[in-house]
Amino acid sequence: MDTGTHIVMGIAIGGIATLDPVVSSNPAMTQAVMAGAIIGSHAPDFDTVLKLKNNAVYIRNHRGVTHSIPFLFVWPTVITLFLSLIMPVTNVLHLWLWCLLAVSLHVFVDIFNAYGTKALAPIKDKWIALGIISIFDPFIFTAHIIGIIFWRYGADPAWTFLWMYAVIVAYYVWRIRARRLVYHLLKKEHPDATHIFISPTYSWYSWHVVIRTKEKMYVARVKNYRIRYYETYPFEPIPDHPIINAAKKDANLEAFLSFSPAYRWQVTTEEHGYTVKFVDLRYRSKGHYPFIAIVRLDEEKNILSSYTGWIYNNDTLQRKLEYIPQA
């Protein structure tokens, strides 16, 4: 989920924590648990700092180890120790348990996005991305804001947020069922499909889809359980080609391929030598595929420049790929 939603989830957990007598009977403990829940609800995303290094490192590692099983326990421990040093914590165990709940909820809700996490690492080093809920879901965020407002004007925080989460659980069940219906619709239309990638949108009744068969890839949109096809491409596995093999040594392309399961590739000959481009078909937006990886090589197949990430116009891409010949 997005940062804002994780933060309001932390506030909700802090409100639910008032059911705990150890927390509610001590104002200092109440404050510590609220702080711990808010920090814990965001802590797994502290790896966003990797973006300061470069996109390749960020893509390969974001929602990786920080969302893994060991870190479910590392984050609460670090947060509890930190808060114990700066706040009058009266019960370390209860603080740790509420921080654990906040961290666990963060990781749990992230697996329902199309981006996913490595939540089962190191037992299973695989991305878990169910593609049911958008990164930012207006319904979930608004429900939390309404709960916070009710609390502000005197409602009991624990029961307010428990009822809110009951509604959200029902919402998740409905979204799971809706996605399943979309999957069965696509499978019926394409019984020969080897892979079906479904990504949610802001609309409850609209889904981005990519269908892959042994021969073709279809980019489409399902809206109100009706399929609208946009583009159809031949399915071409990455060949054992010297130019592509040279480009695959680049960190940006390596990161892209480690993350993207549905893409097209293209090799073009240009003045500088060659350009190898990959586009992720899952994120079509206004006729454009913004998530890409591109590598420029000279005629001897040496890498000149590269980029991976989100690009919405060619001018920005050219600036990022600008190559200045060596003297």
pLDDT tens digits along 267-278: 999 888 999 999
**What average pLDDT does the segment 164-181 reach?**
97
Residue 141 has pLDDT above 90, yes or no: yes
In Å, what is the CA distance from 70 to each residue of 23, 24, 63, 86, 104?
26, 30, 13, 25, 11
Percent of the chain residues topping a pLDDT of 90: 77
Phi (first) and psi of residue 72, to 5 degrees: -60, -30
Residue type, 97: L
Phi (first) and psi of residue 301, to 5 degrees: 70, 25
Distance separating alpha carbons of residues 274 and 66, to the nearest angstrom? 37
State the DSSP H helix or E strand holding residue 277, giving kind and residue range, or none if neither: strand 273-280
Higher pLDDT, 149 or 126: 149
Phi (first) and psi of residue 287, to 5 degrees: 75, 10
Residue 316 has pLDDT above 70, yes or no: no
- What are the residues whose beta carbons fall under 8 Å from the beta carbon of 123, sequence distance 6 or more? 69
Confidence of residue 319 (pLDDT cuts 50, 70, 90): low
- What are the residues whose beta carbons fall under 8 Å from the beta carbon of 28, sequence distance 6 or more? 87, 88, 89, 90
What tokens appear for 132 in the block?
């049911």
The predicted pLDDT at position 147 comes to 97
CB contact at 8 A, 319 and 311: no
Residue 326 has pLDDT above 50, yes or no: no
Q: What is the pTM of this model?
A: 0.88
**DSSP annotation of 237:** P
Domain boundaries, the chain: 3-175, 190-234, 242-321
> Residue 154, Cα to own-chain centre: how many angstroms?
35
**What average pLDDT does the segment 160-173 reach?**
97
**What average pLDDT does the segment 243-249 reach?**
95
Question: Which range is least confidently modeled, 98-107, 272-281, 297-306, 316-325?
Answer: 316-325
- What are the residues whose beta carbons fall under 8 Å from the beta carbon of 300, sequence distance 6 or more? 273
CA-nearest of 192, 284, 292 to 230 is 284
**What average pLDDT does the segment 126-133 reach?**
90
